[in-house]
Amino acid sequence: LTDLMGRLGVEDDVRAVVLTGEGRAFSAGGDIDMFHDLAGDVARVRPHLGRVYDAFHAVERCAVPVVAAVNGLAYGGGTELALACDIVLAGQSARFAFKEPDVGLQPGFGIVRGPQAIGRHWTAYLAFTGREVDPSRALAMGLVQEVHPDDVLLDRAVAIAREIAAKPPLAVQVGKAFVNRDGTAGLSESVEATALLFGTEEH
């Protein structure tokens, strides 16, 4: 994802991107078995988290807007990936959640980006409880901008991407750069804090 977003941002014929999942999930998040393997090994966790955050940040840094078409589950890193996108559409089957507190962790990217995107209280609600929210709740909290039936979700996302692509590209790129101008603030601290959680007995 990091490599792809970098390449898409410099291709003249790409003016917008649609990011979606396949099957029943937009992204089900991290591999919990891998989390178990990393438990207690903070030195290995730091670079892993750095690569994960680099992928989210690459979405934000991509020179062209990224529209998420969230089909099905967006758990943990899936919700964080949605937060990294510029515009988020959800299908009626979409479900959003930070599941990290269930395994003694926190969504490191999500707790940095969440307050900017959905506010401090909604971020706390998701990050402290691990609760799942449906598309109507996600719309009310500002996590998504539109909700559509699953069978037209991708078409609606492509339509928005085409609408953006028809605008003068430099104006859109400048707008995106300013919307995401504070992109790295707090992320290095979050990597460290989340890495340390991997070493705890609770995890």
Question: Residue 136: how many CB atoms within 10 A of its CB?
Answer: 12
9-31, pLDDT tens digit by residue? 676 789 999 999 999 999 988 77
Report how far Cα 163 is from the mean position of its chain's Cα atoms: 22
What was the pLDDT predicted at 50? Answer: 84
138-174, pLDDT tens digit by residue? 999 999 999 999 999 999 999 999 999 999 988 998 8
With the C-alpha atoms ordered 184, 60, 68, 56, is the resulting torsion angle positive or negative? negative
Instruction: Tell me the CB-side half-sphere exposure of residue 87, using CA atoms within 13 A.
Output: 20
- The 10 Å CB-count burial string (b at 16+, else e) for 104-124 is ebbbbbbbbbbeebbeeebbe
128: alpha, beta or left? (left if phi > 0; alpha if psi -120 to 50): alpha
55-87, pLDDT tens digit by residue? 999 999 998 999 999 999 999 999 999 999 999
Amino acid making up residue 195: A
| Rounded distance between C-alpha atoms, residue 77 and residue 189, angstroms | 18
Quote the Cα angle for 42-1-52, to 5°.
Answer: 15
| Rounded distance between C-alpha atoms, residue 15 and residue 103, angstroms | 39
Give the model's confidence band at 201: pLDDT under 50 very low, under 70 low, under 90 confident, else very high.
Answer: confident
Q: Are strands 146-148 and 87-91 parallel, antiparallel or unpaired?
A: parallel
Instruction: Give CB contacts under 8 A, 24+ apart, made by 116-119.
Output: 116/182, 117/83, 117/142, 117/143, 118/83, 118/142, 118/143
Structure tokens at 10: 């410099």
